[in-house]
């Protein structure tokens, strides 16, 4: 959740389709020092749970922010969600275990797929989702196109619903579809 920016964007978009959005976020928030954040591949400024909660409650009161390591909060208590944005601890083993605890969800988006095999000194042997994505059925994934801001870091959409993955692929690779969805 770092600063709650992506969470805010996701809630705003989801509310266009469903006014009763329920958001659950797992994070260590500001309980770890900068050395720990560097170790796990997080280069973003991190805010407290209470600050992020205030930002998100403006959008919906149905917010549940779970503070702590996912090894203690999520892994022992797997959940199922409609949409998951998986972007916390960037270490491969942590991403794999987060995915295992969430794999019954409808759509999971993996952040930090390194198209060159590394990013900012973090190599795919220990960081990013590349090694996990390699094990998934290729019909169940869509790797995003590159962006201007971070051309070597992509996101990967995964779902057992192949029709949904194909719709996402079409939407995110077809400029007319992108414009249509951005104007909603």
Burial of 154 (0-12, 13-18, 19+ CB in 10 A): buried
**Angstrom distance (rounded) from CA 36 to CA 89:** 10
Query: What pLDDT, on a 0 to 100 scale, did the predictor assign at position 119?
Result: 85
Average pLDDT (120-137) is: 93
**pLDDT given at position 177:** 53
Q: How far apart are CA 65 and CA 87, in angstroms?
A: 15
Q: What pLDDT is stored for residue 93 in this prediction?
A: 94
Using alpha carbons, select from 26, 21, 27, 14 the residue that is nearest to residue 62. 21
For the entire predicted model, the pTM comes to: 0.85
For the stretch 67-124, pLDDT in tens is 999 999 999 999 999 999 998 888 999 999 999 999 999 999 998 899 988 888 889 9
Longest CA pairwise span in the chain (Å): 44
The band of 184, judged by pLDDT with boundaries at 50, 70 and 90, is: very low
């Amino acid at each position: 959740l770092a600063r709650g920016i992506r969470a805010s964007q996701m809630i705003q978009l989801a509310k266009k389709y469903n006014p009763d959005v329920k958001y659950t976020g797992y994070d260590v928030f500001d309980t770890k020092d900068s050395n720990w954040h560097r170790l796990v591949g997080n280069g973003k400024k991190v805010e407290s749970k209470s600050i992020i909660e205030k930002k998100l409650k403006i959008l919906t009161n149905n917010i549940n922010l779970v503070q702590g390591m996912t090894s203690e909060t999520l892994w022992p208590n797997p959940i199922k969600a409609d949409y998951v944005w998986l972007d916390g601890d960037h270490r491969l083993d942590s991403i794999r275990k987060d995915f295992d605890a969430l794999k019954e969800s409808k759509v999971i988006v993996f952040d930090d797929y390194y198209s060159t095999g590394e990013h900012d000194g973090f190599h795919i042997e220990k960081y990013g989702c590349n090694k996990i994505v390699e094990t998934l059925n290729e019909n169940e994934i869509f790797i995003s196109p590159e962006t201007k801001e971070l051309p070597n870091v992509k996101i990967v959409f995964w779902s057992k619903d192949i029709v949904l993955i194909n719709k996402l692929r079409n939407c995110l690779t077809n400029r007319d579809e992108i414009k249509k969805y951005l104007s909603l």
